[in-house]
Amino acid sequence: MPSDQSKSSKPSRKIMMVAGEVSGDMHAAQVIRALLKKDRALQIFGLGGPLMAQAGMDVREDLTRQALIGFWEVVKHYPLLKRRFDQCLAWMRDEKPDLLFLVDYPGFNLRLARKAREMGIPVCQYVAPQVWAWHESRLDQIRQTIDKLLVILPFEKEYFKSKGIESVYVGHPLMEEMDLKARPRTGVLKKHGISPSHFPLIAALPGSRKGEIEKIWPLFLETSRLLRKQYPDAAFIVPKPTGLAYEDYLGLGPDDSFFFVEAPAYDLRKVCDLAWVKSGTGTLETALLQTPMLVVYKVAALTGFLAKRLVKLKNVSLVNLLAGETLVPELLQERAVPPSLLEETLPLLENQNKRKAQTKGFEKIIKSIGKPASASRGAAVELFKMLEAQR
């Protein structure tokens, strides 16, 4: 007769995950916690970042340290991407995960999904590629390779349905990841060692990748110097993402007034008078914190040239897309220069009506994405459904 141990023991199920950006690392970490809370025996491994490792995943390489943007950047780093891709193929072939869970990072992940489908591995994509903005050619890839699509923006479910793709809306992960509680400004500044006498206090978010910092940081630094000619007590807060070093922020001099804090520093960003934000998840974070903002984006010239011909929307920032209007100014590519950023900054500091118009728009956005409250739990439920369907 088999022993009691052999009767009760079952092979642990395996989930392979891939998240290639700082925001994906944060979102996936929450899902990992929700999964392991229900089943501690799950084996979760793959490519991710430090937060996924802290949550309990076997992170075999940190993809977030060298996350890439744009056509030219990807071409330059093709050998590195190819090595990572081949690693993933080897893991899927040798370790035969029960499920492949992909978070955003569509250029890499959709290709990996195709290979997983060929190997008979079910695929779940969390955070849909923004095909409603550009690159609708990816719709066929999604249809052919993704078994379950988990979307985080309210309008995406209907959009994908109109394209013949069923999806599950689980809510936006930022609603559970962010602390939105208001705290006294003086206390928050004291906590971070910043004098309350500074005005204006501007949050500067040039991105979470080295490639973004190289393009956008010089813009912020030069504009800060222009602004301090009019506001000598101005100070600038930089929430430094994990994986970036202070040395990545080049050109600082002894007269510059920058305070570096460990990201995300939501409490500090909430009490800032204004934010300069690289287009991306940071714009939605800033809207949820109800801090007035300007959005900037700057990539390599070739990438920008091609993007202009592919992007089909009037606005590119997530906060404007959710608002359905140009709620916040966008300075993109050629417009992302210090005189223009200064010109857009001054009215937002000095005109209360402009500030109120933005914060009212932010309140509407908060209402639109406020339900369900826990995207990670919703994602975990859908993953367990996929696992159970294989038994």
Q: Is the pLDDT of residue 73 over 60?
A: no
Question: Which residue type sits at 310?
Answer: L
Q: Is the pLDDT of residue 303 over 80?
A: no
Token pair of 144 as six digits: 């052919």
DSSP class of residue 42 equals -
Q: Is the pLDDT of residue 77 over 50?
A: yes
Please state, in angstroms and rounded to a whole number, the distance separating the CA atoms of residues 73 and 61: 20
**What pTM, to 2 d.p., does this model score?**
0.85
Out of 47-61, 70-84, 115-129, 258-272, pick the least confident. Answer: 70-84
pLDDT tens track for 348-386: 999 999 999 999 999 999 999 988 879 999 999 999 999
CATH topology of domain 11-171+372-388: Rossmann fold (3.40.50)
Give the residue, 298 or 48, on which the prediction is more confident: 48
Question: CB burial class (10 A; 0-12, 13-18, 19+) of residue 17?
Answer: buried
pLDDT tens track for 156-204: 999 999 999 999 999 999 999 998 899 999 999 999 999 999 999 999 9
CATH topology of domain 181-369: Rossmann fold (3.40.50)
Token pair of 252 as six digits: 């600082």
Q: Tell me where in the chain the CATH 3.40.50.2000 domain(s) lie.
A: 11-171+372-388, 181-369
Count of C-beta atoms within a 10 Å radius of residue 166: 9
Cα-trace Rg, the chain = 22
Q: Which residues pair with 61 in a beta bridge?
A: 47
Question: Which residue type sits at 110?
Answer: L
Please state, in angstroms and rounded to a whole number, the distance separating the CA atoms of residues 360 and 281: 20
81 pLDDT band, cuts 50/70/90, is confident
**Cβ pair 242, 280 in contact under 8 A:** no
Q: Which residues pair with 330 in a beta bridge?
A: 295
